[in-house]
Amino acid sequence: MSELSFYSHLLTDIKQRIKQAQTKAILSANSEMISMYWDIGKMLVAKQKLQGWGAGIIPTLSKDIHKELPEIKGFSERNIGYMIRFFKEYNSAILQQAVAKLPQLSVL
């Protein structure tokens, strides 16, 4: 095999490895985001039941998250409502099992 051919194969292998790592990173990030949305929905539903909070907490929470973490996007009133809805609508045994397989972080 010529040196040029060897280099071409090496370059191809490295590019494949880079693309593989990028794909894994994207999938990992997506998994973590879904887990976070689930957890936030679960926390809010639990607090609503325990504390008797209604939907009125959502605007305050959205504003406070934006104030405390201005660089973080995606926590509008609408999106927080979607997180609650996501948890409520998909709170079934099948999804709970899938989410339970994700690494758990202590959030409280």
Average pLDDT of the segment spanning 51-80: 93
The tokens of 81 are what? 């409502």
Average pLDDT of the segment spanning 9-28: 94
Q: What is the pLDDT of residues 40-65, one digit of tens each?
A: 999 999 998 888 888 889 999 999 99
Residues 6+ apart with CB under 8 A from 40: 80, 83
pLDDT confidence bin for 100, thresholds 50/70/90: low
Nearest to 37 by CA among 53, 23, 48, 102: 102
Average pLDDT of the segment spanning 1-9: 85
pLDDT at 14: 96
Question: In this structure, are residues 84 and 43 in contact, taking their beta carbons and an 8 Å threshold?
Answer: no
Q: Is-above-0.85 flag for pTM?
A: no
Average pLDDT of the segment spanning 77-82: 96
Average pLDDT of the segment spanning 87-92: 86
